[in-house]
């Protein structure tokens, strides 16, 4: 293209963008009940902003448009709600108008590499959903998974403590949280045959999830390569436990899940893709929230001291100061409010780290009540997102909303009416396991180690912490610049825990 042609096309393009901007503003002012986000480039501009930095983009839209607005995309609209009324209306879904399969389909396609239509996703939910619910929402299932995870994590941290000896060492915080949770929870769910050398590829795939949304080969090549290696490892695992008619050498949940998958007409690779998508749902957000819990408590000396004192007191009074007795206790026998300050700190961490709910698709035209006298008409085929991040940071929902208050949920003050795990029929199935995993992780770290936050060079981090990574999906991600320094506790009780008799 020569410069003469460019001189002709450039003014035309600028005129077109100006016309689009004026038209978008005109549309948004005419549709005051449910405003449209202004986008200069048709179908692309606003959607691109949403994909690149979802939280900051939607937080700005919340300030400009209020509790509900829509983003035009090529196939229709994305309706976004961030008011309590709007989110409750979607969660209740009294007319059964919203299908969560749209979000599942995207996760299955991008993470697992399985391209399924909505009917296929529905069958996936129908066949595998009950298996997952029995494992993660019933006491029988939790009593099998939770103690195994606790004891595997105990062994993992015992080895780490012994490796430290009398020295101290710094670790990347997110990597250490990931190794602790991913490896030990995977063994608790899938058994000792599960390959723990998949961790690095799993973390790389999760960190580059946004790149998979943009179908440009060179842009997403490394994430695709990591996914392919993960799929090969998972297929090898399945072959090692599947005899041709049943599963041998795997825990009950893994046995039921693999048996259900073998009952479908999916290829071995697609079966591995569904397992990978399940693993991503089980681990990715839990790892991030765990990282933020450590960041918040370790940067607040008073909060950390009070939570640690609570842990020590309860372990001493209820478990004879024997952490193994606590870990081996069945989930059904542990009171849910046994560690009230730690529970509150986890809820507060969730409040500040959760960004979005699962994506839904409108199955029919429906109206959503998203505020006093405000109703939005969502058309059939439109997508629906709930902006949990802005809701949880609304001063009308809870005071001092931008700051971490470890005792917010036990202090008697107003707290959010909605759960960070969503609501309604599509509430997160793994919520009970996730919270327990995080609590056990923090309890064991406080028993084994003296801890402090440091930067990449080992300098202490106190007040000015690197901001979180908000270019994410459902939960923001801790900055990779944050590290944690560990030193084995010198007390006699810790040495007896680590070394044994």
Q: Residues marked as binding for heme?
A: 428
Mention every residue, 6+ apart, whose C-beta is less than 8 A from residue 421: 350, 427, 428, 431
Helix 252-262 and helix 118-136, axial crossing angle in degrees, nearest 10: 160
DSSP for residue 421: T
Whether the CA torsion 18, 24, 30, 35 is positive or negative: it is negative
- Binding site residues, as ranges? 428
Phi and psi, residue 387, nearest 5°:
-85, 80
Instruction: Round to whole Å and give the CA distance between 421 and 391.
Output: 13
Residue 186 near residue 279, CB atoms below 8 Å: yes
Three-class DSSP labels, 206-252: HHCHHHHCCCCHHHHHHHHHHHHHHHHHHHHHHHHHECCCCECCCCH
Instruction: Round to whole Å and give the CA distance between 362 and 186.
Output: 35
Alpha carbon separation from 109 to 172, 198, 330, 469, 483 (Å, rounded): 30, 19, 36, 23, 33
Nearest to 336 by CA among 154, 146, 88, 130: 146
Nearest to 142 by CA among 286, 284, 251, 278: 251
Query: Can you name the residues that pair with 69 across neighbouring β-strands?
Result: 80
Burial level of 400, CB count in 10 A (0-12/13-18/19+)? Answer: exposed
DSSP for residue 171: E
Residue 90 near residue 360, CB atoms below 8 Å: yes
Alpha carbon separation from 425 to 4, 91, 122 (Å, rounded): 60, 8, 14
Strand 383-386 and strand 76-81: the pairing is parallel
Residue 199, SS3 per DSSP = helix
């Amino acid at each position: 293209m020569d410069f003469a042609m460019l001189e002709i096309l450039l003014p035309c393009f600028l005129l077109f963008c100006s016309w689009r901007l004026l038209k978008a503003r005109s549309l948004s002012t005419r549709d005051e009940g449910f405003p449209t986000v202004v986008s200069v480039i048709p179908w692309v501009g606003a959607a691109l902003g949403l994909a690149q930095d979802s939280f900051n983009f939607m937080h700005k839209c919340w300030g400009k448009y209020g509790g509900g607005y829509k983003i035009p995309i090529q196939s229709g609209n994305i309706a976004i709600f961030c008011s309590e009324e709007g989110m409750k209306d979607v969660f209740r879904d009294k007319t059964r108008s919203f299908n969560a399969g749209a979000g599942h389909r995207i996760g299955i396609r991008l993470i697992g590499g399985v391209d399924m239509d909505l009917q296929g996703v529905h069958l996936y939910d129908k066949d595998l959903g009950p298996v997952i619910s029995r494992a993660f929402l019933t006491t029988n299932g939790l009593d099998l998974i939770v103690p195994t995870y606790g004891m595997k994590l105990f062994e993992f941290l015992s080895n780490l403590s012994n490796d430290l000896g009398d020295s101290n060492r710094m670790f990347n915080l997110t990597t250490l949280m990931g190794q602790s949770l991913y490896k030990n929870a995977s063994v608790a769910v899938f058994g000792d045959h599960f390959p723990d050398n998949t961790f690095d590829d799993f973390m790389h795939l999760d960190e580059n999830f946004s790149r998979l949304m943009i179908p440009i080969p060179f842009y997403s090549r490394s994430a695709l390569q990591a996914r392919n290696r993960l799929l090969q490892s998972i297929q090898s695992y399945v072959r090692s436990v599947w005899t041709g008619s049943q599963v041998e050498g795997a825990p009950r949940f893994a046995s039921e899940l693999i048996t259900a998958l073998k009952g479908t007409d999916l290829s071995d690779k697609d079966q591995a893709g569904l397992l990978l998508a399940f693993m991503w749902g089980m681990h990715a957000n839990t790892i991030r929230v765990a990282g933020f819990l450590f960041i918040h408590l370790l940067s607040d000396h008073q909060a950390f001291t009070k939570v640690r004192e609570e842990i020590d007191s309860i372990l001493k009074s209820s478990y004879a100061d024997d952490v193994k007795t606590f870990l081996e206790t069945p989930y059904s026998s542990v009171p849910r409010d046994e560690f009230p300050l730690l529970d509150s700190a986890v809820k507060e961490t969730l409040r500040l780290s959760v960004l979005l709910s699962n994506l839904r698709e409108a199955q029919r035209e429906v109206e959503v009540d998203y505020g006093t006298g405000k109703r939005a008409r969502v058309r059939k085929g439109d997508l629906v997102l709930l902006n949990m991040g802005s809701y949880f940071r609304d001063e009308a929902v809870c005071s001092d909303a931008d700051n971490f208050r470890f005792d917010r949920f036990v202090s008697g003050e107003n707290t959010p009416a909605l759960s960070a795990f969503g609501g309604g029929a599509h509430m997160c199935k793994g919520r009970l396991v996730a919270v327990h995993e995080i609590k056990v992780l923090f309890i064991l770290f406080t028993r084994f180690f003296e801890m402090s936050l440091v930067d990449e060079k080992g300098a202490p981090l106190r007040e000015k912490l690197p901001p979180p990574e908000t270019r994410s999906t459902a939960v923001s991600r801790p900055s990779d610049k944050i590290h944690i320094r560990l030193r084995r506790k010198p007390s006699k009780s810790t040495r007896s825990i680590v070394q044994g008799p």
